[in-house]
């Protein structure tokens, strides 16, 4: 990485130059630097609405960058150690889908863990590829899916030698990392591409002593959520390419779905955040690691909770652990993660990332302070004292092995019927059901609905998980394939 060159921020510089010119706008957006919408100015500020502009020659165009956006993408590629980088304004959902859509054609097979984000399965609906799912190992106590075992992936490749790619989550929401280098090497030995959903791994490229990131492992593509741990605005992302990928073709695929009116607020935030990480990332994420480890120690001293970390590493299904992730098992105090999540927000004005049926996750990143950590620890101690119950073991896992009866695309577009959810056992689902976050489907199109899955959905609803996916807003009905 060229540290001197990384001091540049070409999109930001171009916007500052443009702002000083006081150009009279006879183009979109129609709020005309905020003059037509004073309430928007009051909410966002004059500077923000003043650079909410449309593509024009001095500011380049994301659909076909030739100047400042191209320069920003080259700087991003240099910072992340990639052959090319695309700035993405449709979130990492669009980055994940672009990886899959540029790799798979209708009928192609792709090997992937079933605990993928819904964006990956949505991509299969769009392109018509056939998933070859690998069931992740599960930590029964913590109720979380683990990483991809090398031997499981090898077996799937040998059983499906015609698969075109393997898709890898790394790290997971919970901080679990697979043996990325070995998985990439295995994919290439079988003439398959290695695609990495690195939504939760921006910091791996910059923080000292953290698990290996995708580009360093030799992956062909990686989707990076800069807005999660990288400091950019929500919905901004970067798609990284390795040296053997045709960037022109990937660009064509991105432009099938990406907006032609890309937000300069999002793009400039990517530009500035990349510069910040390149220049100060090592120092910043060293502090993040220290804060997360401190929080882990303090929470574990409370008793009842278990803030897990690198002690889980087993060299296989947990090959490494991202210690910046502060995931806390809560069932030891008799509460689900979503119950602790709700109490923290409603009673203590603390918003954590998510709660599931066994865990809660506090996202620690470059904007956090040690006094905020102290407040979280104090609130958790208070919750244990005031709200704890006898420990129960109703469900032992956040992951239920699916029975796949049809491809996602065929099930999504098939003739279907709308049934009360309690009448759907044994039928093939035509839509998604998930808790969001984390957005990992409990049911996906093409999967058989079982009593175990229905019991899980019912329990998750009762405990207050935010359920989404089906057309039915209250999850009372499901679309299933017509018999």
User: Which pLDDT band holds residue 316 (cuts at 50, 70, 90)?
Assistant: very high
The reported pLDDT for the residue numbered 274 is: 98
The answer, yes or no, to whether residue 398 has pLDDT greater than 70, is no
Is the pLDDT confidence value at 356 over 80? yes
Inform me whether the pLDDT recorded for 461 exceeds 90: no
The mean pLDDT of 282-311, rounded to a whole number, is 97
Residue 22 pLDDT: 85
Q: Is-above-0.85 flag for pTM?
A: yes
- How high is the pLDDT of residue 394? 62
408-481 topology per CATH? Molybdopterin biosynthesis moea protein, domain 2 (3.90.105)
- The pLDDT of residue 393 is 67
Predicted pLDDT of residue 465: 83
If you average pLDDT over every residue of the chain, what do you get?
Answer: 94
HEC letters along the chain: CCCCHHHCCHHHHHHHHHHHHCCCCCCCCCCCCCCCCHHHHHHHCHHHHHCCCCCEHHHECCCCCCCHHHHHHHHHHHHHCCCEEEEECCHHHHHHHHHHHCCCCCCCEEEEECCCCHHHHHHHHHHCCEEEEECCCEECCCCEECCCCHHHHHHHHHHCCCCCEEEEECCCCCCEECCHHHHHHHHHHCCCEEEEEECCCHHHHCCCCCCCCCCCCCCCEEEECHHHHCCCCCCCEEEEECCCCCHHHHHHHHHHHCCCCCCHHHHHHHHHHHHHHHHHHHHHHHHHHHHHHHHHHHHHHHCCCEECCHHHCCCCCCCEECCCEEEEECHHHCCCHHHHHHHHHHHHCCCCCEECCCEEEEECCCCCCHHHHHHHHHHHHHHHHHHCCCCCCCCCCCCCCCCECCCHHHHHHCCEEEEEHHHCCCCEECCCEEECCCCCEEECCCEECCHHHHHHHHHHHHCCCCEECCCCCCCCEEEEECC
| CATH number, domain 282-387 | 3.90.1150.10
pLDDT confidence of residue 439 = 80
- The boundaries of every CATH 3.90.105.10 domain in the chain are 408-481
Residues of the chain with CATH 3.90.1150.10: 282-387
């Amino acid at each position: 990485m060229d540290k001197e060159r990384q001091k540049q921020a070409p999109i930001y510089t171009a916007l500052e130059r443009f702002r000083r010119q006081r150009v009279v706008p006879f183009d979109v957006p129609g709020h005309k630097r905020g003059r037509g919408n004073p309430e928007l100015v009051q909410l966002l500020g004059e500077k923000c609405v003043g650079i909410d502009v449309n593509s024009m020659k001095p500011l380049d165009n994301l659909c076909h960058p030739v100047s400042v956006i191209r320069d920003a993408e080259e700087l991003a590629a240099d910072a992340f150690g990639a052959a090319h980088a695309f700035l993405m304004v449709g979130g990492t959902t669009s980055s994940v889908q672009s990886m899959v859509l540029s790799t798979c054609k209708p009928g192609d097979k792709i090997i992937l863990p079933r605990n993928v984000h819904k964006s990956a399965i949505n991509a299969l609906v769009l392109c018509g590829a056939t998933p070859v799912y690998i069931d992740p190992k599960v930590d029964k106590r913590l109720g979380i899916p683990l990483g991809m075992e090398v031997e499981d992936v090898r077996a799937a490749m040998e059983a499906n030698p015609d698969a075109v790619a393997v898709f890898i989550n790394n790290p997971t929401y919970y901080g679990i990392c697979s043996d990325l280098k070995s998985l990439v090497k295995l994919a290439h030995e079988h003439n398959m591409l290695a695609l990495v959903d690195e939504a939760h791994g921006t910091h791996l490229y910059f923080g000292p002593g953290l698990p290996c990131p995708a580009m360093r492992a030799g992956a062909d593509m990686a989707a990076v959520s800069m807005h999660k741990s990288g400091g950019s605005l929500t919905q901004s992302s970067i798609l990284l390419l390795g040296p053997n990928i045709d960037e022109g073709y990937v660009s064509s695929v991105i432009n099938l779905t990406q907006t032609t009116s890309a937000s300069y607020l999002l793009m400039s935030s990517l530009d500035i955040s990349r510069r910040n990480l390149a220049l100060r990332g090592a120092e910043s994420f060293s502090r993040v690691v220290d804060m997360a480890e401190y929080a882990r120690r303090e929470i574990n001293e409370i008793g009842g909770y278990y803030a897990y970390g690198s002690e889980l590493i087993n060299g296989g299904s947990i090959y490494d652990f991202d210690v910046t992730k502060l995931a806390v098992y809560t069932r030891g105090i008799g509460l689900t993660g979503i119950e602790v999540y709700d109490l923290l927000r409603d009673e203590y004005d603390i918003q954590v990332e998510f709660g599931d049926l066994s865990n809660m996750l506090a996202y620690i990143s470059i904007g956090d302070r040690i006094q905020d950590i102290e407040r979280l620890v104090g609130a958790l101690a208070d919750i244990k004292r005031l709200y704890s119950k006898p420990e129960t073991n109703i469900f032992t896992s956040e992951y239920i092995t699916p029975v796949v009866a049809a491809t996602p695309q065929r099930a999504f577009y098939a003739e279907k019927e709308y049934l009360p959810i309690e009448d759907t056992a044994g039928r093939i689902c035509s839509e998604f059901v998930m808790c969001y976050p984390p957005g990992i489907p409990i049911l996906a199109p093409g999967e058989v609905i079982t009593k175990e899955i229905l019991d899980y959905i019912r329990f998750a609803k009762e405990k207050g998980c935010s359920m989404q996916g089906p057309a039915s807003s209250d999850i009372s009905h499901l679309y299933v394939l017509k018999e």
